[in-house]
Amino acid sequence: MFVYADHAATTKMSDAALKAYTQTASAVYGNASSLHSAGQRAQEILTDCRERIARILDCDARELYFTSGGSESDNQAILSAAYAGAKKGKKKIVSTAIEHHAVLHTLKKLGREGFEIVLLPVGTEGIVKAEDVRAAIDDSTALVSVMLANNEIGTIQPVEEIGEICKEKGVLFHTDAVQAVGHIPVDVKKIHCDYLALSAHKFCGPKGVGVLYARRGAPLTNLIEGGAQERGKRAGTEDVPAIAAMTVALEASVADMGATSKVLKHLQDKLIAGLSEIEHCALNGDRTKRLPGNTSFCFEGIEGESLLLLLDEKGIEASSGSACTSGSLDPSHVLLAIGRVHDVAHGSLRLTLGGENTEAEADYIVKSVKEVVEYLRGMSPVWRDLQEGRRQYIL
């Protein structure tokens, strides 16, 4: 059996998105900035896509900027707010310990430039407290950046409450909604955010394209200088076929959201119940306030890398943390933030399912993980020490 269980890393393009992509690429090849008819046809598609995405996010089409994806949108939102704040002497940024590296590394860079970066803790359940955000905001705060849903453990953050607090305090608020858009309802008016980042390849659209929502009036500085595309805020010829495909993928994900989440929740229940039968393991993140597609576990006494490789041999493609951290030996910052010690964090497994996964696949995952964990523990000196009492179990 072959099971793709790494949808948080990326998704396969849907047939409808692929069709929109190829049709647009062959029929609408003009440069959207050109004045001739081929260019105008491309411009019309951009206008149409922007309006359709605006309807879904509940904003004005002029508040949307097409970018190269989630990382670029996060960078532009954070740097824009930070530099605008610095001009007014505000150099404090409040965020969380579990943000994606697109946010964390941007904040780190600002830290080197003299900004004060506060990363709030998230507790064992992996959710930041809105009241902690309130307490961290002071007169020098330029920006609050809190993700909508975490990419490793799937926990959903209280962004609506945080947005209210930021609005009340007059502080800019950015949310990285890359894991949420197309999967759970996202409405920029309800969140009261000034910026929001989304990425097409996380909801069955193409890679390398995304959107930055910037509320009308929110500061926006360019990361890329050049032509006057995107109201002068993001230079570079627009990838019209990718934008058309992203729009189709987003509309389909939103239309199917209710039915898909029902299926995913059922599969998630199966995975959590099945994997919990393994001794000395634990679910990562809150049991209920999580994305329906995300199941993340830590197993004591094994190496996540070996687990992944053996699962891959069985046809199961999963992840240990985020795709960005895989390949490095550092344990995930998210797992450390929810209190997993290094050894335990190394034994992690992230299973992220999508609408096309089936019940038979979930059963196969449970059976295979049980087999592989048992096999690896059978060879592990750490597991023997635990079993023979020379080490204390943590989980």
Ligand X SMILES: *Cc1c(COP(=O)(O)O)cnc(C)c1O
Contact predicate 195/143, CB 8 Å: no
If one asks whether residue 71 binds ligand X (CB under 6 A), the answer comes out as yes
Q: Is position 75 an interface residue for ligand X (rule: CB under 6 A)?
A: no
Residue nearer to ligand X on the CB measure, 176 or 230? 176
Q: Residues 24, 75, 80, 151: which binds ligand X (CB under 6 A)? A: 151
Q: Report the nearest approach of ligand X to the CB of residue 197 (Å).
A: 7
153 binds ligand X (CB under 6 A): no
Cβ atoms of 94 and 118 within 8 Å: the answer is yes
The reply on whether position 147 binds ligand X by CB under 6 A is yes
Q: Does 174 bind ligand X (CB under 6 A)?
A: no
By CB under 6 A, name the one of 57, 59, 102, 271 that touches ligand X.
102
- Among 19-27, 35-43, 199-207, 362-370, which window interacts with ligand X (CB under 6 A)? 199-207
Identify the residue whose tokens are 């849903």: 149
Among 30, 70, 285, 301, binds ligand X (CB under 6 A): 70
**In the complex, least distance from residue 340 CB atom to ligand X, rounded to whole angstroms:** 19
Please indicate whether residue 324 is annotated as part of the active site.
yes
Q: Catalytic one among 59, 204, 298, 324?
A: 324
Residue 176 or 300 with smaller CB distance to ligand X: 176
For residue 200, give the nearest of 6, 14, 4 by alpha carbon: 14
Q: Which residues, in sequence order, are bridge partners of residue 145? A: 95, 174
Measured from the CB of residue 105, what is the shortest distance to ligand X in angstroms?
11
Q: Count Cβ atoms below 10 Å from residue 174 Cβ, excluding itself.
A: 30
Q: Which of 43, 50, 69, 268 touches ligand X (CB under 6 A)?
A: 69
Identity of the residue, 7 or 90, whose beta carbon is nearer to ligand X in the bound complex? 7
- Taking the complex as a whole, the smallest distance from the CB of residue 198 to ligand X amounts, in Å, to 9
Q: Which is nearer to ligand X, 296 or 380 (CB)?
A: 296
**CA-based torsion, 297, 309, 328, 109: positive or negative:** negative
Residues that bind ligand X (CB under 6 A): 69-71, 74, 100, 102, 147, 151, 176, 178-179, 199, 201-202, 210
Indicate which residues carry an active-site annotation: 324
